[in-house]
C-alpha cells in the first residue's frame, strides 16, 4: 500500500469532507481504492472498475504491450477473461486499427468492460466466438493455486471475487482450458499470450505442445519472477 499516494488520490477526487471521511473509512476497511474511486490507471489508460470486478494490476501491462506488437495491421484480437477490459482497452488505445472482442463469465465484469468501450460478451472462455477468427488471443486467467489463495494480501481475498483468482488445484485448471480454446480461435500462426507465475511455464509447456503451440518466449519482472508466456499456433 502506497498510503501517501492513495491519500492524495482520495483527497483530489472527494467532492467534500464528508465523502472523503467515508472513503477513508472504506479504504481502512480494505476495500480496493479502484472501487472507491471508480477507476484506476492501467499504463496510460484510465479504466473504470466497478465494485465486485477484479482490479487490473500493473504487472499485466507487459502482456498488453506484447500483444499489441503481435497483431498484424487491421488484425483481430480476442481477450479471454477480460474482467474490466483493461488489456483490451490498452491495446485498442495503442492500436486503433485492431478489431477486439472479449469475454468473461461474470456479468458485472462484462458490463464494466462494455462501459470501458470493449466489445465484450458474457460467456465461458472461447465459447462465444467463431473458429480461427483471430490473430492474437490474450488471457489473464485465474492462475493462483487454490491452497495458495490464503497467502494473498487480506484485502484481495476479502474483497476481490474468488472466481477471478482461483486457478484450481495446481493453478492451471482454467489456463489449460484457455489453451484449448485458443487453439480453436486462432488462425495458424496466431499468437497466444498468457499471464502466469512461479514455474507454470514449465508445467504448461506440454499442454501448449499438445494443442499445437510452440512456446516462443517468456517474460519476467525486475525480481526475475515469471510473468507470462507467448506461444504461437503451428501450421
Ligand X SMILES: C[S@@+](CC[C@H](N)C(=O)[O-])C[C@H]1O[C@@H](n2cnc3c(N)ncnc32)[C@H](O)[C@@H]1O
Instruction: Round to whole Å and give the CA distance between 185 and 145.
Output: 26
DSSP code for 206: H
Q: Is 142 in the site for ligand X (CB under 6 A)?
A: yes
Instruction: Round to whole Å and give the CA distance between 99 and 119.
Output: 9
Min. distance of Cβ 154 from ligand X in angstroms? 18
Q: Is 129 in the site for ligand X (CB under 6 A)?
A: no
Instruction: Round to whole Å and give the CA distance between 208 and 152.
Output: 28
Instruction: Round to whole Å and give the CA distance between 20 and 54.
Output: 23
The interface with ligand X within residues 161-180 (CB under 6 A) comprises: 163-164, 174
The region of 7-15, 90-98, 99-107, 206-214 touching ligand X under the rule CB under 6 A is: 99-107
The residue among 79 and 135 lying less far from ligand X, judged by its C-beta, is 79
Q: Is 20 in the site for ligand X (CB under 6 A)?
A: no
Helix (H) or strand (E) holding 47, with range, is strand 45-48
On the CB side of 181, CA atoms within 13 Å amount to 26
Q: Is 78 in the site for ligand X (CB under 6 A)?
A: no
> Which residue do the cell numbers 493453478 mark?
171
Q: Is 221 in the site for ligand X (CB under 6 A)?
A: no
The region of 13-21, 83-91, 213-221, 224-232 touching ligand X under the rule CB under 6 A is: 83-91
The residue among 25 and 131 lying less far from ligand X, judged by its C-beta, is 131
The dihedrals phi and psi of 166, each to the nearest 5 degrees, come to: -80, 110
Out of 33, 34, 78, 86, the only residue in the binding site for ligand X (CB under 6 A) is 86
Cell of 186: 486462432
Cell of 228: 507470462
Out of 34, 87, 172, 196, the only residue in the binding site for ligand X (CB under 6 A) is 87
For 25, 90, 110, 111, 223, the CA distances from 117, given in Å and listed in that order, are 31, 11, 11, 10, 34
The residue among 14 and 65 lying less far from ligand X, judged by its C-beta, is 65
Residue closest to ligand X, measured at CB = 83
Annotate each residue in 23-62 with x if it binds ligand X (CB under 6 A) or - if it does not, as one string. Answer: -------------------------------x-x---x--
Q: Which residues bind ligand X (CB under 6 A)?
A: 54, 56, 60, 81-84, 86-87, 103-106, 109, 124-125, 140-142, 163-164, 174
Amino acid at each position: 500500500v502506497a498510503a501517501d499516494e492513495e491519500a492524495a488520490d482520495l483527497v483530489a477526487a472527494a467532492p467534500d469532507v464528508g465523502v472523503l471521511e467515508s472513503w477513508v473509512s472504506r479504504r481502512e476497511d480494505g476495500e480496493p481504492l479502484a472501487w472507491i474511486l471508480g477507476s484506476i490507471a492501467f499504463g496510460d489508460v484510465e479504466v473504470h472498475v466497478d465494485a465486485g470486478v477484479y482490479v487490473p494490476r500493473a504487472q499485466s501491462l507487459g502482456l498488453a504491450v506484447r500483444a499489441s506488437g503481435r497483431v498484424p495491421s487491421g488484425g483481430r484480437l480476442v481477450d479471454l477473461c477480460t474482467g474490466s477490459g483493461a488489456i483490451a482497452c490498452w491495446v485498442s488505445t495503442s492500436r486503433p486499427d485492431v478489431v477486439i472482442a472479449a469475454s468473461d463469465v461474470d456479468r458485472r465484469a462484462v458490463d464494466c468492460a462494455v462501459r470501458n468501450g470493449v466489445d465484450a460478451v458474457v460467456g465461458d472462455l472461447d465459447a462465444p466466438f467463431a473458429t480461427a477468427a483471430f490473430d492474437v488471443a490474450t488471457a489473464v486467467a485465474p492462475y493462483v493455486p487454490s491452497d495458495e489463495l490464503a497467502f494473498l494480501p487480506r484485502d484481495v481475498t476479502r474483497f476481490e471475487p474468488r472466481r477471478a483468482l482461483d486457478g484450481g488445484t495446481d493453478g492451471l485448471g482454467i489456463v489449460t482450458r484457455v489453451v484449448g480454446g485458443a487453439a480453436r480461435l486462432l488462425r495458424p500462426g496466431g499468437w497466444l499470450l498468457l499471464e502466469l507465475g512461479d514455474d507454470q511455464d514449465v508445467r504448461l509447456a506440454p499442454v501448449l505442445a499438445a494443442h499445437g503451440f510452440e512456446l516462443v518466449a517468456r517474460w519476467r519482472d525486475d525480481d526475475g519472477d515469471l510473468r507470462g508466456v507467448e506461444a504461437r499456433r503451428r501450421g
